[in-house]
Structure 1
Amino acid sequence: MKSIQELFDVQRPVALVTGSGSPRVGNAIAWRLARRGFRIVLHCNTSIDHARQTAAEMTAEGTEVLVVQGAMDDADDVARMFQEIDDRFARIDVLVNSAAIWSPKRLEDVTADDVRKNLEVNTLGTFIAAQAAGLRMVKQSRGGAIVNIGDWAVVRPYVDYAAYFPSKGAIPAMTRSLALELAQRNRFVRVNAILPGPVLLGSEVSDEVEAANRESTLLKRVGTAEHVAHAVEFLIENDFVTGTCLNVDGGRAIYAGDPMQVDHRTD
């Protein structure tokens, strides 16, 4: 397997991770790539203090860091952020689309604006960033890698997220389409997606909810942000994988419960 320097033909490749300001999955991904030798672009919308703290900690470890701030559903904001990256680094080797919104709401209470906002941030925001990064990558001799973050549960959705799931359901189709489009322009540009399962549930989650999430997986445990970050690293490093949507879900997408606990009697 090639080193990241060989893969991108540059000593310190540049990685932008959207939604990496707050201490969640995007932040863990940014840290993993920083420790692999990437120069890091941290993105936030409202979590600027968290992003600056992370930048300071990364800088102390020897990583060159740029913090960009903006709304992913605002094309002007995204264009400005990529201009800042151009001005600082004059290249972009990796984009990880981790920024997203989600919040539970009963179907009866969901409005058109709720659906629209989810689509604009989670779907359109992912597309705009991937388009901006991808069209820069095609001009580079060794292309680049884009990793979108989707959601395993688009195939088995759960209640109270009717505005959210359509926005994430588009990610697999978008990933395949962009993989095709960009490879036609430069065969060294790859686009893949991660579909996480239950990871980083948060301190506010009750013991009952955590237990339910644990039991819902085939592996009987909840994942971590590091599981997702490791999968992202794999998709960046393996230059023969593109157009793939990789479940990182402990087998939840294929698990329908323990068959030994099901009563199959018909009488």
Structure 2
Amino acid sequence: MTTKQEKLKSLFGNAAPVAVVTGSGADRVGKTVALTLAEQGYQIALHANGSIDEAEATAAELVDQGIESKAFAADLSDEAEIHALFESIHFYFGRIDVLVNTAAIWDSHPFEEVTAADFRQQFEVNAVGTFLCCQASGRRMIDQPHGGAIVNIGDWSVVRPYPDHAPYFASKGALPTLTRSLAVDLGTRNPSIRVNAILPGQVMQPEGTPQEQIDRDIERTLVKRQGKPDYVAHAALFLIENPFVTGVCLPVDGGRTIFANSDFGASS
């Protein structure tokens, strides 16, 4: 057994812990987190909704590399589908050691046009869906002697929001409080369960973003560096494997939370 396997066995009671990553089908942050954990010796349950074909392709690639992996489909705005998702994952792998909630929806709504339906849609996936995934995995972690680790993905800009995204920011703004609350709820039931969050900055520009916009976003950071999904994945790995950290909401944003330069234009 390698030193890494010994560490994982000490943390989770399993030399190859099972990690569930929601929203890991498309080539975005969730997939990067899943691949990073796979490289570190975790078995991987990939979740997707619309991008299930991509998730299945990733799972097949991991299996070819000798890494146990399987893709699962579910609409995280549907409570019944969430319960079925985690039942299927637990049945297949026999355990759930890690959950990383990267699944989210993101829409722009001018203030004057926001409807109650817009708010509900964002909350159903970004807040309620995240909670239900934590609940479904947490119930199983409570019964595991070594508990488990949960990482939620929020957004740095809930502390400095920009225009025309009120439903999104309100839904993501719930996650820091939810994370701290679940750290208490689950930790008091099993001290080996830890719940933390990452608040990423701009780590993946939409396809076709002009270079001028990319340069402007780099200039708005303190580190003068373009964000990458890898940075979020590295932070997730730290929070998963540090047994003395829980209830933390970690900005991974190049300093955007604490720094504002003279350019106050809206940017994610």
For this structure pair, what is the TM-score category when the shorter chain's length is used for normalisation? over 0.9
- TM-score, normalization by structure 2: 0.94
How far apart are 1:203 and its partner, in Å?
A: 2.5
> After superposition, what is the alpha-carbon deviation per residue over 1:145-178, rounded to whole angstroms, capped at 9, x for unaligned?
0000000000000112111000000000000000
Return 207-216 or 225-234, whichever deviates more: 207-216
2 CA distance for matches of 1:48 and 1:182?
30
2 CA distance for matches of 1:208 and 1:171?
32
| 2:69 is the alignment partner of 1:70 | no
> After superposition, what is the alpha-carbon deviation per residue over 1:15-65, rounded to whole angstroms, capped at 9, x for unaligned?
000000000000000000011111100000110111111111111111111
Rg: which structure is higher?
1
1 CA distance for matches of 2:90 and 2:65?
24
> After superposition, what is the alpha-carbon deviation per residue over 1:166-199, rounded to whole angstroms, capped at 9, x for unaligned?
0000000000000000011000000000000010
1 CA distance for matches of 2:108 and 2:79?
26
| 2:182 is the alignment partner of 1:172 | no
Alignment: residue pair count: 259
- TM-score, normalization by structure 1: 0.94
What amino acid sits opposite 1:97 in the alignment? N
Residue aligning to 2:255: 251
2 CA distance for matches of 1:4 and 1:72?
29
SS of 1:253 mapped into structure 2: coil
Residue aligning to 1:88: 92
| 2:228 is the alignment partner of 1:224 | yes
Residue aligning to 1:154: 158
1 CA distance for matches of 2:232 and 2:177?
20
Q: Which runs of 5+ in 1 are unaligned?
A: 262-267
| 2:19 is the alignment partner of 1:5 | no
**Maintained 8 Å contact 2:196/2:248:** yes
> After superposition, what is the alpha-carbon deviation per residue over 1:113-154, rounded to whole angstroms, capped at 9, x for unaligned?
111100010000000000111111010000000000000000
What is the Cα-based RMSD across aligned positions, in Å?
1.3
What amino acid sits opposite 1:98 in the alignment? T
**Maintained 8 Å contact 2:56/2:70:** no
Percent of aligned positions that are identical: 52
